[in-house]
Structure 1
Amino acid sequence: MVQSHEARPRVGLFATCLVDLIRPSVGFAAAKLIEDAGCEVVVPSQTCCGQPAFNSGDRRTARALALQVMDAFQGVDYVVAPSGSCAGQLKKHFPELFADEPDLARRADAFAAKTHELISFLVDVRGVTKVAARFDGAVTYHDSCSGLRELGIKGQPRKLLESVDGLTIAEMKDPDVCCGFGGTFAVKYGEISDAIVSKKADNVSHSGAGTLLAGDLGCLMNMAGKLQRLGRPVQARHVAEVLAGMGDEPAIGEPARR
């Protein structure tokens, strides 16, 4: 159900690098959900949000990428990303990059104001209360760090998941604790990352759910990989895929059907 006082706003879909390269179905699911919410979807030519460079202290590269993104999406009413971490970079950290440059700071602030993570956009901006989808089975939901702590995303995905026919939510222990990915963190501190994701994998398994959902593909790939290495029979999917009725797609880490 959508409550709207706007006439079909134009939404620029920021697909994210991982979705584009690893899991395009998430992008198609996001586009469907946005269109179902009464919006026109456009996908400008785009590049990385600059988060890896930003987190590594390379402000020069992060700034250059931010300018490219703002140029690409200047003609839309909203910018929406199916990722809390990328949306957090666009919304929270773009303004930081230009804080000492008044003209660019105003531009970055305006860009940030129209930027949203996908599920937050559906629920908080477009007033979506339910989806027309079915998924048979129990799922458990991981609250990714950036989406939860930077953007306040917690109840929104659960609200929409509760409307999916056949689906039940089995909350894991500590769903809001980091999975150990953290982008470059997992590369720099591999042993610590593995210890964190090992605990997360145990919590996922003990939930009894057959499917793990989250809103960040990086986190999902990290957890799915660990679950597979441990031989745990849990499938990982992006929450948008289930909400868009694409829950029969091969799970993350499984070979694509031919």
Structure 2
Amino acid sequence: MNIGLFIPCYVNQFYPEAGKATLEILKHYGEVHYPFGQTCCGQPMANAGCEKEGLGALKLFYKHFRDFDYIVGPSASCVLHIREHGAKLFPEAKDMLPKVYDLTEFLVDVVRENDLEAYFPHKVILHKSCHGLRGMRLGPCSERVMNQPSKQDSLLQQVKGIALMPPKRKDECCGFGGTFSVAEPEVSVRMGKDRLKDYIDSGAEYITSGDMSCLMHLEGIIQRNQLPIRVIHLAEILNSPTSPMIQTTKYHVNEI
């Protein structure tokens, strides 16, 4: 496979280890290329109600990724934005859009991975982002009757040594919501604190997710309140074949 690696701007700037882990995973399935000209996909503009102002970003994405067999990124929210807004704003990209995948989708639906050689001996709880769950249908959500397994759970269950902790409210929003956290910071933080209490009460050591944006929001609250839990991207766990301890990246929200 000829795979284009799509790294969202916030992962590139604040959490590069998630991007590196995604690269290492994809290298098992084909030749991976990282176009250096890629930029933001334009999702922040769309979230703020300025959808058309993100057209330039979508055109640039198409320019750099159109020739790959698959385009894979470690962010359900950015991938969903490209799919939902790409065809509507930039019809020329319609043939490319079916090739754009979230890492979870790619591993489960394309390469059908069922024997990951990963080892992570820790108590982990899975945060299911709204974009991944309700937008991309990576698993069932409580407000709809769906006979569909969770793709992220199925991958984590292949990891040796891991203990998956069940939350009481398994698919509740963390409160980030992109620009929502800027427009309504008090509500956003309160939602994040409620989510974290549930996760900490489960006994988990780590919170993982396929969306680093949600983890970034939660990590900011964790660090400001010195809470006893860490965040780690799903790709970092799936790319941990030998190490008994994975450290999250040294870049943190409250240091930027």
Q: TM-score w.r.t. structure 2 length?
A: 0.89
Greater shift in the superposed pair: 138-147 or 87-96: 87-96
Q: Which residue of 1 aligns with 2:123?
A: 138
Q: Does 1:93 align with 2:85?
A: yes
The Cα of 1:86 is off from its aligned counterpart by 0.5
* Distance apart, 1:252 and its partner CA: 5.2
Match of 1:207 in 2: 202
SS at structure 2 position matched to 1:212 = strand
After TM superposition, what 4+ stretches of structure 1 lie above 3 angstroms from structure 2?
246-249, 252-255
- With over 3 angstroms needed to count, the CA separation of the structure-2 counterparts of 1:133 and 1:199, relative to structure 1, is same
Deviations 1:103-132 (A, max 9, x none): xx1x32212111110011111111111311
Query: How far apart are the structure 2 equivalents of 1:252 and 1:220?
Result: 12
CA shift digits 1:112-159 (9 cap, x unpaired): 111110011111111111311111111000000111111111311111
Structure 2 partner of 1:58: 50
Residue 22 to residue 249, structure 1, CA distance change in 2 (3 Å) = farther
Q: Which residue of 1 aligns with 2:145?
A: none
- Give 1:123's aligned residue: 108
Query: What is the aligned counterpart of 2:21 among 29, 49, 59?
Result: 29
Residue 232 of structure 2 corresponds to: 237
SS at match of 1:47: coil
Deviations 1:206-254 (A, max 9, x none): 1111111011111001112212333321110001001001774422567
The match for 1:222 among 190, 203, 217 is: 217
Q: Mind listing any 5+ residue stretches in structure 2 that lack a counterpart? A: 140-149
Select the residue among 153, 173, 177 that pairs with 2:138.
Answer: 153
Check conservation: 2:15, 2:251, Cα contact below 8 A: no
Q: Deviations over 1:147-206 (max 9, x none)?
A: 111111131111111111110100112231110111111011101101111110111111
Given the superposition, is the C-alpha separation of residues 25 and 253 from structure 1 closer, same or farther in structure 2, using an over 3 Å criterion?
closer
Query: Conserved in 2, the CA contact under 8 Å of 1:220 and 1:252?
Result: no
Q: Which runs of 5+ in 1 are unaligned?
A: 1-8, 99-104
In the alignment of these two chains, the number of paired residues is 239
Distance, in Å, in 1 between the alignment partners of 2:211 and 2:24 is 18
* Separation (CA, whole Å) in 2 of partners of 1:89 and 1:170: 30
Query: Take 2:7 and 2:234, find their aligned partners in 1: how far apart are those partners?
Result: 15
Which of residues 180, 193, 200 in structure 1 aligns to 2:175? 180
- Aligned-residue Cα RMSD (Å) equals 1.6
> Which amino acid in 1 is paired with 2:51?
R
2:31 counterpart residue number? 40
Secondary structure of 1:65's counterpart equals helix
In structure 2, C-alpha distance between the alignment counterparts of 1:129 and 1:12, rounded to whole Å? 23
Check if 1:110 corresponds to 2:95. Answer: yes
Provide closer, same or farther for how the CA distance between residues 159 and 145 of structure 1 changes in structure 2, counting only shifts above 3 A. Answer: same
- Asked whether 1:251 is paired with 2:248, we answer yes
For the residues of structure 2 that align with 1:172 and 1:59, how far apart are their CA atoms?
A: 35
